[in-house]
């Protein structure tokens, strides 16, 4: 009898050990793998169709996206901060006439170029932004200066430009931002808008060409080797905008958000809707409060919440584990990713 009891006890103990080991293994396998660092960028979303793109133009966009992301990748690989990677990567995009930011900024109804931008530190939740500037060569540099060297989060217009000068940032004549292609786009939209308004003002606003004039923003999100996240966004806004219109790009929580506990996000699209939905923060909140993955949260916000409101556009994001996501409800979005293995992906169209 004692032998039987001993045998039963042994079998129960052995079974318990097996179950414990299985549970540990299963829990371990379910844990997401963590990348050492990661970086993702975008150059705007909209009706970007391959049939409308020449090989030369497609190559130019892909080359510049690859060049820009390598700048941030190198910083991260060498142990630099996610903030530096975001800022320097966006600098390159701002200096290119291909994108609606910095040099390539679109024109307002008055024929000027007005820039909006923001940056956020996921470690401290500190942030900086500027809106409506016309003379700061690289607006993202101003956003970072506001974050680090002022007690404020957002500055605008002439005051922001005065602060930029005091900070020693590069100031240029507004003519620096003139590009013929953007100016011609303004003229075409004005002509089309005028013709449409004679028939129906609402129809003019929702005409596909006029609607797409709202897209073009650039942005970057990054995770560094210290586990710190950062995101930044820069834009020239909406072609033919008037009355000092400001979109989502300089608004923390709408166009940009970063939190080490969840993710870093940069938005691009129809700004009014991104503001109403607080898109960037909402993705982080779904991860934080509901335990959703970055992919699940991004899909919920972009494909459901934003779409149901009537908004178009997308986001790029990276979470605390280095998982990267590009989610959009438009025909295309200029985007690129690089992981800690140096693997580069550059894409334009929906796949």
| d(C-alpha 107, C-alpha 101), whole Å | 11
Q: How far is CA 11 from CA 15, 35, 111, 147, in A?
A: 6, 41, 83, 63
Decide: residue 277, CB within 10 A, 0-12 exposed, 13-18 middle, 19+ buried.
buried
Angle of helix 157-166 versus helix 139-149 axis, rounded to 10: 80
**Residues with active-site annotation:** 217
Rounded percentage of the chain residues whose pLDDT exceeds 90: 79
Task: Enter the tokens of residue 141.
Answer: 């540099």
CB 171 within 8 A of CB 136: yes
CATH class, domain 38-349, is alpha beta
Give one word for 319, left, alpha or beta, with left for phi > 0 and alpha for psi -120 to 50.
beta
pLDDT at position 329, please?
95
Enter the pTM of the model.
Answer: 0.88
Torsion of CA 260, 269, 153, 81, to 10 degrees: 40
The whole-angstrom distance between residue 10's C-alpha and the CA centroid of its chain comes to 58
- Confidence bin at 86 (pLDDT 50/70/90): very high
pLDDT at position 51, please?
86
Place of tokens 């586990």: 227
pLDDT higher at 90 or 216: 90
Give one word for 182, left, alpha or beta, with left for phi > 0 and alpha for psi -120 to 50.
alpha
Q: Which residues contact 60 (CB under 8 A, 6 or more apart)?
A: 98
Mean pLDDT of 162-176: 98
Task: Order the strands of the 313-319 sheet from edge to edge.
Answer: 256-258, 263-269, 313-319, 324-328
Tens of pLDDT, residues 21-73:
444 434 444 566 899 999 999 999 987 888 888 999 999 999 999 999 999 99
Cα angle value 50/334/271 (rounded, 5°): 115
Which phi and psi (to 5°) does residue 271 adopt? -55, -40
Domain boundaries along the sequence of the chain: 38-349
Residue 321 has what DSSP assignment? T
pLDDT at position 216, please?
74
Mean pLDDT of 132-138: 98
CB 137 within 8 A of CB 269: no
Residue 103 has what DSSP assignment? G
Q: Which residues contact 350 (CB under 8 A, 6 or more apart)?
A: 328, 330, 331, 332, 333
Mean pLDDT of 300-325: 97
Q: What is the SS3 assignment for 37?
A: coil
Q: How far is CA 26 from CA 21, 29, 151, 291, 293, in A?
A: 9, 5, 48, 19, 18
pLDDT at position 286, please?
98
């Amino acid at each position: 009898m004692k032998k039987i009891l001993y045998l039963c006890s042994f079998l129960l103990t052995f079974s318990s050990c097996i179950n414990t080991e299985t549970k540990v293994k299963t829990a371990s396998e379910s844990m997401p793998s963590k990348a050492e660092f990661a970086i993702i960028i975008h150059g705007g979303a909209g009706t970007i169709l391959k049939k409308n793109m020449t090989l030369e133009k497609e190559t130019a966009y892909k080359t510049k996206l690859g060049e820009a992301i390598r700048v941030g990748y190198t910083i991260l690989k060498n142990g630099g901060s996610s903030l530096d990677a975001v800022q320097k990567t966006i600098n390159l995009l701002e200096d290119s006439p291909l994108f609606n930011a910095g040099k390539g900024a679109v024109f307002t109804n008055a024929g000027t170029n007005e820039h909006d931008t923001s940056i956020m530190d996921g470690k401290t939740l500190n942030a900086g932004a500027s809106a409506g500037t016309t003379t700061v060569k690289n607006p993202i540099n101003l956003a970072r200066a506001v974050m680090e060297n002022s007690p404020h989060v957002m500055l605008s217009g002439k005051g922001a430009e005065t602060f930029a000068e005091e900070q020693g940032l590069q100031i240029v004549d507004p003519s620096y931002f003139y590009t013929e292609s953007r100016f011609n786009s303004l003229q075409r939209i004005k002509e089309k808008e005028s013709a449409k308004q004679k028939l129906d003002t609402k129809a003019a606003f929702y005409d596909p060409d006029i609607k797409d004039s709202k897209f073009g923003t650039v942005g970057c999100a990054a995770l560094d080797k210290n586990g710190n996240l950062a995101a930044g966004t820069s834009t020239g806004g909406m072609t033919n905008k008037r009355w000092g219109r400001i979109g989502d790009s300089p608004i923390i929580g709408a166009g940009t958000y970063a939190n080490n506990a969840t993710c870093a996000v940069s938005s691009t699209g129809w700004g009014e809707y991104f503001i109403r939905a607080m898109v960037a923060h909402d993705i982080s909140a779904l991860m934080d409060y509901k335990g959703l993955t970055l992919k699940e949260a991004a899909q919920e916000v972009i494909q459901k919440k934003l779409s149901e409101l009537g908004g178009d556009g997308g986001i790029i994001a990276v979470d605390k584990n280095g998982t990267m996501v590009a989610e959009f409800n438009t025909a295309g979005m200029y985007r690129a990713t690089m992981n800690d293995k140096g693997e580069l992906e550059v894409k334009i169209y929906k796949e």
